[in-house]
Amino acid sequence: MIRWFARTGWRHLIGVLAVVVAIFPLVFVLSASLNPSGTLTGSNELFSDTTDAHYRELFDDPLHPFGRWFLNSMAVGLATAIGSVFLGACAGYAFSRFRFRGRGAGLTTLLLVQMFPQLLAYVALFLLLSSFDDVFPAIGLGSRLGLVMIYLGGALGVNTYLMKGFFDTVPRDLDEAARIDGASHAQVFFRIVLPLVAPVLAVVALLSFVATLNDFVIASLVLNDPDKQTLAVGLYHFISYGVGRNWGVFAAGVLIAALPVLVLFQFLQRFIVGGLTAGAVKN
Amino acid sequence: MRPRLLLPAVLAAATLLATACGGGGGDKGDDKTAPPASAPAAGNGSLTVWADDARAKPLQDIAAAFTRDKGVKIKVVQKGLGEIRDDFVSQAPTGQGPDVVVGPHDWLGKLVHNGVLAPLELGDRAAAFSPVALEAMRYEGRTYGLPYAVDSIALLRNTDLAPQAPASFDELLATGRRLVEQGRAELPVAVPVDAKSGSPYHLYPLQTSFGCRVFGTKPDGAYDQAKLELDSPGCQRFGPWLRGLGKDGVLSTSLTADIATDAFLKGKTPFLLAGPWDAATFRAAHVPFAVDPVPSVDGSPARPFVGVQGFFVGAKSANPILAQDFVLNYLSTPQAQRALYDTGGRVPATTAVLEQVGNDPVVAGFARAAQAGLPTPNLPAMDSVWADWGLTQLAIIQGHGDPGELTSAMAGRIRAKIVAG
Amino acid sequence: MTQIPPTQPPHTPPGRRPTADPGHPPARRGLVGLAVRIVLLAVVDALAVYGLLALAAQHKWAMFGALLVGTVAVNVIYAGKRHVPAKYLAPGVVLLLVYQVYVVFYTGFAAFTNYGDGHNSDKPDAVAAILAHSETRVPDSPVRPATVVARGDRVGLLVTLPDRGVRLGWAGHPLEPVADPVYDSAGRAIAAPGWHRLSYAQIASRQKEISELRVPASEDPNSGSLRTADGISAAAYRSTLDYDRGADTITDRGTGKVYRPTSDGVFAADDGTRLSPGWKVFVGLDNFETILTDRDIRGPFLGVLVWTFVFAGISVAVPFAIGLVLAAVLDGKRLRGHRIYRSLIMLPYAFPAFLAALVWQGLLNTDYGYVNVSLLDGAHIAWLTDPWLARLSVLAVNVWISFPYMFLICTGALQAIPAEVTEAARIDGAGRGQILRHVKLPLLLTAVTPMLIATFAFNFNNFNVIYMLTGGGPKDPDAPIEVGSTDLLISLVYKLAFGGSNRQYGMACAVSILIFVVVAAISVVGLRRSRAFEES
């Protein structure tokens, strides 16, 4: 018993502790989503009274096309995740493997631009998108593609850094060897280096997916048609200041919205963890 | 496994890249399915209306009638009430803003000050509205909005716990305390206080019953921002009284609006200060309640803020005629006003609709409460007034500092901000 | 109108050919790659040409130039075999320039203007608003049924008077009786000889023209002009103000007072009275000067700055430490249920941060919150209203929000360390702990340091958590301005710029720029120290 604890038991202890800390506020939200009163903080007796009314309301009300919001969020989130992985990996690879003029300055600039306080960005972005409207309505106001573009433009800095850091941990001997075997820089990138950092790609993809799903400010600026809105924007109406605040429906919606992240995480865990890297090195 | 993950990723990214490098996607984007909705409303006979969640629903029915009659599409966009005003101000100058917005009259100052509203000429339609609603929609002598509802705070009373309406606030407190002592209630009265921004709106009827108003008025009855009265002798008496309530635990900065509402819903308190928007919840839950005007504390009448909800037309709307036609000739009809009432349950601004629904005790109660009220100031300076006012209330309730000094310091800060502009 | 700062072309530097490239890729792969490249470039160029034509047609030359330069750059980069690093950087850089750099430039530009309440748009908009505001209905003039009619290009108003007389007029041509009007069933005139009624769709397509139509009510200018707001009725209006386009002055018809444009973007008379609204103008360094000389800002600045650093530092260090420990502890593949642990620990991250802050605000409520009532058995701890406890709570909540993120990053980083590296160390006889400390940790830090710096910068400006949780409070009641114990620099800016009676957007931009300079300087120093630029 003591040996079990010393070897793995303590890991379980820490794991359980972390899980409790992580989910206890969420249990509270789950309780609120089932509580008929529609308040979030008014009741401390968890699960004292339950109803599925809030969940039904989510799907019944034509003014709140929850299903559409869900699909929009998935589409925008996946496009952003895939796009930012690709852009970040390309840029990170360039900074990690090539030596070119302006490399150091470019890296610093990337990071600095990222640090600009975004609090005021919405006015500038609105003007930008409204000027696109006349020429490229597909990426103008109200367009989901336009929203993805904004996210991709904003994702480069952090992702590039993250990716560059990981590319740096991949021994250069590997790609040098491939080069000598006659592979082009693109082949080295796609066939040797990218598979090696698959865990990071999965992490970055998940990070951008979640960040996209949670973004409310920019999404509500761009998407003004209820049918095109994302979950965060749509659900926020339930609790925005003023009348008709309905925390119950909101909590129900947020919990459902968190499901895809969990599923995606389950799926990506295989890439993040689990022996892939060991095999890839021998490739 | 790996190649399968990567290939779609690369393909998708390449597509995005292709569109990005062109500086735009032309018509090849993912919006092919719904081109009309994504096009901007540039005089093309389609109106955009911004409304919050509570108003969007009835508006859609009225909009459908307009579309049927005139062939004009109306897009009702739901936005948070908190965002509508500021987003309208920043987006209207580009010409991409909404044609019509729905909101309370106290936005007027800020909207007119920024030049984003078109004046409205109600003409003969004005006769249909209650005078207080019409007056609220005027700013510097011009009418800017079509009213539809009149809101104010009233006293909601659980008739099982307190069968009689209290004649004064002291009587209310006595009843409430007795019920708490008897174990029939947990709170003598629930007054919602926001822990971050205080509660000037909910406390205003109590404050005015000390004769403490926020602004004095000009000869024509409009508020005068040069006459801040928040440190008048009445206000100096109100401060210590408020401190006393905080000390006794009657008022608490922990009692946020949702907790207060929940307490009344569950019968944990006999009295609640609330607006009409919460009444529907209590009805649905079959809480036995009556609505009365807030009783006076100190002799002078308790006068809550009256907020008039209405429709406004943007100054740079690409559809000036359609927007005015929709607001003046569709939203003003008794049917439309009735539909807005049916969903929102707010006191109608149209006298005819009020007569139709006036035998409803809840509506009648809120209507009586609003009669005693004073319009919420629509001065542009109100933003800074609310913030300082609320924070000072929090300090007084929590017992930080001397109420008199806090009140004077607050008035000084607000005056300085108004002068600075 | 919208002003777009000149967008810079992607300035990717020319790359050197990697020395190790022998330049003999297998022929088949080369062909496929070439084909893909050509197709993609063709698509890009086709879209670009479309865009250029559209922009030229609309005379948007700034955007035209930016697109042209961008297209040429993309072609140069991808057409040839050179510029290899640029090939990898171009897509991201283009998006970065359009969506990020533009924002920075715009903010920098706005910092030198008086953009804000009362100065919200350009001068023509301000003049239009002032004139519309001054136009009032002639007293006692009735609203009459009216029909919008047209003859050729000209639109006019056909007005049915109560006494059944019908009048017609158009711009500059006062109303006069109509001989043979056509009536509808309701007795309303709908057409006159030579004039036909506009259908609703026609009215809709000529709205601007019709809403600007002013028909003199009679030869007497004091009787006002008829206009229609809704296309079916008309009334007489009189304007109290006149705008003289040539002299650029506004004159009050009644008093004769003349308003002239001033350098701060309003029309003002000699006696100081001003017309509202004003418009945006450049004010030079005024905003920066106000910030640097304002006593109210300098007073609390130091305290807020220190707290901002503490907040951002702890918000990075503690979640990172927790995340690292958890990642290491749950790393073992032998650990049963490690997947479940990971999934559950990830949960807070799947939850929108602004909602998390709101939920915590409820949980930490002094008298009714779950933490005090249920977990602490009815304690009355003022988690969010006592200055020090509020700081602690804000930090704790932010740690809760961000530790899953750090956990995820650390897990990914640990897994990405090539197995051969640890394998080699194990063969050399290193134990698990030694491998972790001496092999994995240094590699991990190399990988995540830049990310930690970025997280620091994010938390430095983490407005949302503060705003949702405490609103910056609790506020010291004696402080001259509205600054609370948990206010960060960014929320202080927000209150300063938007907490007055006018929202001052230009001022907010100026403070943002100053904060940016501070954070950027710190980050550059931090980066140098962390040796993140070390050439590996």
C173 shares contact with chain A (CB less than 8 Å): no
Residues 6+ apart with CB under 8 A from A19: C341, C344, C345
User: Are B192 and B284 part of one and the same domain?
Assistant: yes
For B30, the closest of A87, A122, A145 (CB atoms) is A145
Residue owning tokens 């859609």: B60
Outline where chain A has alpha helix (H). 2-4, 10-34, 53-60, 66-97, 103-114, 121-132, 144-169, 172-180, 185-187, 194-196, 198-214, 217-222, 231-236, 247-272, 276-281
Residues 6+ apart with CB under 8 A from B207: B235, B238
Token pair recorded at residue C124: 């023509």
* pLDDT-based confidence at residue A281 (cuts at 50, 70, 90): very low
Mean per-residue pLDDT, C216-240: 87
User: Are B338 and B198 part of one and the same domain?
Assistant: no
CA-atom Rg of chain B in angstroms = 25
A28 shares contact with chain B (CB less than 8 Å): no
In a domain, B399, yes or no: yes
Residues 6+ apart with CB under 8 A from C173: C156, C215, C216
Token pair recorded at residue A226: 């209820």
Residue owning tokens 């103000």: C241
Contacts of B195 in chain C (CB under 8 A): 361, 365, 384-385, 473
Please state the φ and ψ torsions of residue A69, each to the nearest 5 degrees: -55, -40
First-last CA distance in chain C: 49
Residue of chain A whose alpha carbon sits nearest to that of C512? A117
- The least confident of A13-22, B200-209, C22-31, C71-80 is C22-31
d(CA B167, nearest CA chain C) in Å: 30
User: Are B357 and B254 part of one and the same domain?
Assistant: no
d(CA C173, nearest CA chain B) in Å: 22
Question: Is B176 within 8 Å of B187 (Cβ atoms)?
Answer: yes
Amino acid at A260: P
Number of Cβ within a 10 Å radius of residue B164: 10
β-pairing, B73-78 with B46-51? parallel
Q: Is there a contact between A220 and B8 if contact means CB atoms under 8 Å apart?
A: no
State the pLDDT at residue A59.
85
Per residue in C136-170, pLDDT (tens digit) is: 888 888 888 899 999 988 999 999 887 768 899 99
User: Are B295 and B325 part of one and the same domain?
Assistant: no
**Structural domain boundaries enclosing B104:** 46-151+307-375
* pLDDT-based confidence at residue A42 (cuts at 50, 70, 90): low
Element containing residue C235 per DSSP (H, E): strand C233-239
For C47, the closest of B19, B116, B118 (CB atoms) is B19
* pLDDT-based confidence at residue C32 (cuts at 50, 70, 90): confident
A243 shares contact with chain C (CB less than 8 Å): no
> What is the signed CA dihedral for C353, C444, C16, C524, rounded to 10 degrees?
60
Q: How many residues does chain B have?
A: 421
Residue owning tokens 């799926």: A267
Q: Is there a contact between C471 and B319 if contact means CB atoms under 8 Å apart?
A: no
Residue owning tokens 């229609």: C228
User: Are B381 and B240 part of one and the same domain?
Assistant: yes
Residue owning tokens 């500038």: A124
d(CA B186, nearest CA chain A) in Å: 14
Counting one residue from chain A and one from chain B, the pairs whose CB atoms sit within 8 A come to 171
Number of Cβ within a 10 Å radius of residue B420: 10
Alpha carbon separation from A179 to A94, A174, C21 (Å, rounded): 16, 9, 6
In a domain, B37, yes or no: no
Among B343, B358, B375, the domain boundary falls at B375
Q: Is there a contact between A19 and C344 if contact means CB atoms under 8 Å apart?
A: yes
For A180, the closest of C20, C448, C451 (CB atoms) is C20
C100 shares contact with chain A (CB less than 8 Å): yes
Percent of chain C residues past pLDDT 90, beyond the cut: 19
User: Are B201 and B259 part of one and the same domain?
Assistant: yes
Residue B177, helix vs strand vs coil: helix
pLDDT digits (tens), chain B, 421 positions: 333 333 333 334 433 333 333 333 333 333 333 333 333 334 457 899 998 877 877 888 888 889 998 889 998 887 877 788 888 998 888 888 899 999 999 999 999 999 999 999 888 888 999 988 998 999 988 899 999 999 999 999 999 999 999 999 999 999 999 999 999 999 999 999 988 888 999 999 999 999 999 999 999 888 998 999 999 999 999 999 999 999 998 999 888 888 888 899 889 999 999 988 888 888 888 999 999 999 999 888 999 999 999 999 999 998 999 999 999 999 999 989 998 888 778 899 999 999 999 889 999 999 999 988 999 999 988 888 998 899 899 999 998 889 999 999 999 989 988 887 7
What structural domains does chain A harbor?
1-50 (no CATH), 64-276 (1.10.3720.10)
Among B359, B375, B391, the domain boundary falls at B375
β-pairing, C196-197 with B347-348? unpaired
CA angle at A129 for the pair A127 and A134, rounded to the nearest 5°: 105
d(CA A12, nearest CA chain C) in Å: 8
Contacts of C43 in chain B (CB under 8 A): 18, 22
User: Are B290 and B221 part of one and the same domain?
Assistant: yes
Distance CA B54, CA A230 (A): 20
Amino acid at A199: P
β-pairing, B374-375 with B305-314? parallel
Residue A38 has pLDDT above 80, yes or no: no
Question: Is C54 within 8 Å of C13 (Cβ atoms)?
Answer: no
Distance CA A24, CA A27 (A): 5
Contacts of A271 in chain B (CB under 8 A): 5
Contacts of B409 in chain C (CB under 8 A): 477-478
Residue C360, helix vs strand vs coil: helix
Q: Is there a contact between A143 and B29 if contact means CB atoms under 8 Å apart?
A: yes
Distance CA C142, CA C145 (A): 10
Enumerate residues 181 to 200 of chain C having a beta carbon within 8 A of any beta carbon in chain B. 200
CA angle at C42 for the pair C40 and C48, rounded to the nearest 5°: 105
Q: Is there a contact between C233 and B197 if contact means CB atoms under 8 Å apart?
A: no
State the pLDDT at residue B42.
40
Enumerate residues 120 to 149 of chain A having a beta carbon within 8 A of any beta carbon in chain C. 120-121, 123-125, 127-128, 130-131, 134-136, 149
Enumerate residues 50 to 69 of chain A having a beta carbon within 8 A of any beta carbon in chain C. none
- Among residues B43, B40, B49, the alpha carbon closest in space to that of B336 is found at B49
User: Are B236 and B385 part of one and the same domain?
Assistant: yes
Alpha carbon separation from B174 to B162, B203, B416, C193 (Å, rounded): 11, 19, 41, 79
Token pair recorded at residue B125: 């339609």
State the pLDDT at residue C477.
66
Mean per-residue pLDDT, C252-275: 90
Distance CA B210, CA B306 (A): 18
User: Are B387 and B362 part of one and the same domain?
Assistant: no
- Among residues B373, B354, B164, the alpha carbon closest in space to that of B275 is found at B373
- Among residues C19, C38, C33, C16, the alpha carbon closest in space to that of C82 is found at C16
Distance CA B359, CA B365 (A): 10
State the pLDDT at residue C354.
76
Residue to test with chain B: of A237, A269, A276, A283, most B Cβ within 10 A: A237
Which residues are bridge partners to C182 per DSSP?
Answer: C191
Q: Is there a contact between A41 and B34 if contact means CB atoms under 8 Å apart?
A: no
User: Are B174 and B125 part of one and the same domain?
Assistant: no
User: What is the average pLDDT value for chain C, to the nearest integer?
Assistant: 83
In a domain, B212, yes or no: yes
Residue C465 has pLDDT above 60, yes or no: yes
Outline where B249-381 has alpha helix (H). 257-265, 279-284, 320-325, 334-344, 351-357, 361-371
Quote the number of domains for chain B. Answer: 2
Higher pLDDT, C12 or A18: A18
Mean per-residue pLDDT, C96-112: 89
CA-atom Rg of chain A in angstroms = 23
CATH of the domain at B185: 3.40.190.10
Question: Is B365 within 8 Å of B290 (Cβ atoms)?
Answer: yes
User: Are B111 and B130 part of one and the same domain?
Assistant: yes
In a domain, B210, yes or no: yes
Burial C361-370 (b: 16+ CB within 10 A, else e): bbbbbbebbb
For A162, the closest of C352, C355, C451 (CB atoms) is C451
Amino acid at C153: D
Residue A135 has pLDDT above 90, yes or no: no
- The least confident of B231-235, C22-26, C149-153, C503-507 is C22-26
pTM of the complete model: 0.84
Residue to test with chain A: of C19, C349, C411, C459, most A Cβ within 10 A: C349
User: Are B236 and B256 part of one and the same domain?
Assistant: yes
